[in-house]
Structure 1
Amino acid sequence: MSGLRPVREARSDCAYVTLVTNADFALGAGALLRSLRLSETQADLVVLHTGGVEEASLAPLRERGARLVETDLLPTSDAFNTAHARDALHGAAPFTKGEKPAFHTPLDNFAKLRLWQLDYDRVVFLDADTLVLRNCDRLFDYPEFCAAPNVYESLADFHRMNSGVFTARPSQATFDRIFAELDTPGAFWRRTDQTFLQHAFPDWHGLPVTFNMLQYVWFNLPGLWNWDSIHILHYQYEKPWQNPHPKADRLAPLIDLWHAYAGDGPVPALSELPAPA
């Protein structure tokens, strides 16, 4: 597997995969891994991690049963790297709906494409800032490429996909195809992997928003929020472990839920959680 260095062999033909590029996202991955174990999945749990993550941050992920796979960043050109560096990208395509934390490293997002080189038949990718609230193993039976729409402000968002959760079928041929499309002269992917993956898989299949419920739905579209149907909660923009948290007053129940999963104590029953105000 060029560019990948797993620490042990795969135990299943299916895996949930996340990407960790620094200590902050390792914190997120720890809560995600616990949520997956509590969902009683039997699939492998895989953490792709780049060279910038220290062992002290990886050890808790190993203790929660993750298969750690060290990955190289993609061998993209200097021009590509310059265009997608944090300051350049945020300057050319600023975020106007929410805030990305200082540890957000947009160029590293493209490393998730390495999952197509993994030794699994079927994978579900989950960003490290997600929680799995119900068993989602049915997603392994979904085709490539399935993702939920990027809905968090209005119904107009349904035409865009969100790459925080998606289904894939690892294949070196697919990796070679999409990598060839990624770094072309003048390439600029406004929202990094998200914009690129929608380009690479233009006929993407739509998952229900309940399989990638974006946290801003809580206050922008509360009528869509129903704890009885949410399978995956995605903390887009601000992260629940940030302290101080810029939107703590608006997202307090969701922040508290994340901290419950991040710890070792009980997690609340979804039926006991409050509805949006």
Structure 2
Amino acid sequence: MADQSFVTLATNDSYVKGALVLGSSLQQYRTTRKLTALITPQVSDLMRKVLEKVFDEVILVNVLDSGDSAHLALMKRPELGITLTKLHCWELTQFSKCVFMDADTMVLSNIDELFEREELSAAPDPGWPDCFNSGVFVYRPSIETYSQLLQFATEKGSFDGADQGLLNTFFSSWATTDMSKHLPFIYNLSSTSVYSYLPAFKAFGANTKVVHFLGSTKPWNYTYDSRTKRIKGNMDDPKIVHPEFLNMWWDTYISDVLPLLEQHGIVKEITTGVNMLSGLVNTLAFSCGFCREAEVTEAVSHVSVSPLLPTESSEERKERWEQGQADYMGVDSFDNIKKKLDTYLQ
């Protein structure tokens, strides 16, 4: 179906990692639809080249920011203002129908059947089920709708300062009018919801088709232990309701995404580090004379992988700020700026 596409958005190199896992998971389950990635200027050229290996189209778009600091401050998530950039997805009029998926989602089976749904089809939000969650939704690209959404954003704003509040107000009939536009929760299951109906998860969780890593801590923020093939850290954290999904994300990252990053020299440092560690351990084993080969192998295999990304100089970062292109969802996020200020004030 050349006139239909899955669409995602990456606003920086960190979210590109999520988009790559999403695209790889869609390919793994043999989607017959196109894959399209929207990116903003914060995405580096190297990461864009990697995206082009997975996605059929990679399209550069400008940043749309709600500028609604009061509502965003209320949410304590000021970086979400930039998510209004998502509205660019309605400009993709080369497609008759699309399914938008946030870069922090991942599919667990083929979901091409979503294209049988109409605009605006979405699953309920776990925090307020009369609102839909805008991480996964079916829509029809239209310049007219795009213009109406921009005008609506200017005149009415968004009750949460981000795309979800805007879209729920614009498509206000979703909760009451046409139940066929209510996607089952298995198409947008939150892996990190504070409230989770565990008996239902045990009964229906195996049918999950899309997992959504909601919250400020994303899968790529964790460190993966290559020895145990598990996430390092405190898995008893109450925010991590279903840790098995985190491990699934990392399985896909290691098997499908990491090789692409290595091909482009983006994670060369990790490979080099492993080789250096291997050489060091073997040297120590030879010099001490009593280390068994299994012990050496064990030591080398216990390597933690935390994806590295291209870094930018302070001058490049300053230039982006001056151009209004701060990395709100990455190094320039509110939390990171606050940490820096706290360091200076101590």
Q: TM-score, with normalisation over the residues of structure 2?
A: 0.63
Taking a change above 3 Å as real, the CA distance of residues 235 and 264 of structure 1, as seen in their structure-2 partners, is same
Taking a change above 3 Å as real, the CA distance of residues 240 and 111 of structure 1, as seen in their structure-2 partners, is same
* Matching residue within 87, 92, 102 for 2:74: 92
Higher relative contact order (CA 8 A, sep 6+): 1
Where does residue 211 of structure 2 map in the other structure? 233
Q: Is the 8 A contact 2:193 2:214 kept in 1?
A: no
* Matching residue within 150, 165, 170 for 2:141: 170
Q: Is the 8 A contact 1:217 1:224 kept in 2?
A: no
Q: Distance in 1 between matches of 2:195 and 2:155?
A: 39
* Matching residue within 157, 170, 189 for 1:200: 170
Gapped regions of structure 2 (runs ≥ 5): 175-180, 224-231, 257-346
Q: Distance in 1 between matches of 2:43 and 2:153?
A: 25
* Matching residue within 110, 124, 138 for 2:99: 124
Aligned letter for 1:128?
A
Deviations 1:43-93 (A, max 9, x none): 11000001111012222221123410111123x6xxx52x24xxx554223
Where does residue 3 of structure 1 map in the other structure? none
Q: Distance in 1 between matches of 2:214 and 2:236?
A: 16
1:108 corresponds to 2:82: yes
Richer in helix (by share): 2
* Matching residue within 24, 32, 42 for 2:32: 42
SS in structure 1 opposite 2:186?
helix
SS in structure 1 opposite 2:129?
helix
Taking a change above 3 Å as real, the CA distance of residues 188 and 219 of structure 1, as seen in their structure-2 partners, is closer
SS in structure 2 opposite 1:57?
helix
Q: Distance in 1 between matches of 2:234 and 2:166?
A: 29
Taking a change above 3 Å as real, the CA distance of residues 178 and 219 of structure 1, as seen in their structure-2 partners, is closer
Q: Larger radius of gyration, structure 1 or 2?
A: 2
User: What's the CA shift for 1:242?
Assistant: 0.9
Q: Distance in 2 between matches of 1:175 and 1:219?
A: 34
Q: Distance in 2 between matches of 1:54 and 1:64?
A: 16
Q: Distance in 2 between matches of 1:228 and 1:220?
A: 15
Taking a change above 3 Å as real, the CA distance of residues 200 and 246 of structure 1, as seen in their structure-2 partners, is farther
Q: Distance in 2 between matches of 1:28 and 1:66?
A: 17
Q: TM-score, with normalisation over the residues of structure 1?
A: 0.78
Gapped regions of structure 1 (runs ≥ 5): 1-10, 95-99, 266-277
Where does residue 4 of structure 1 map in the other structure? none
Deviations 1:112-145 (A, max 9, x none): 1111110210000000000011111111110100
Alignment length (residue pairs): 235
* Matching residue within 182, 188, 209 for 2:153: 182
After TM superposition, list the pairs within 5 Å mapping 1:77-88 onto structure 2.
80-81=66-67, 83-84=68-69
Taking a change above 3 Å as real, the CA distance of residues 246 and 160 of structure 1, as seen in their structure-2 partners, is farther
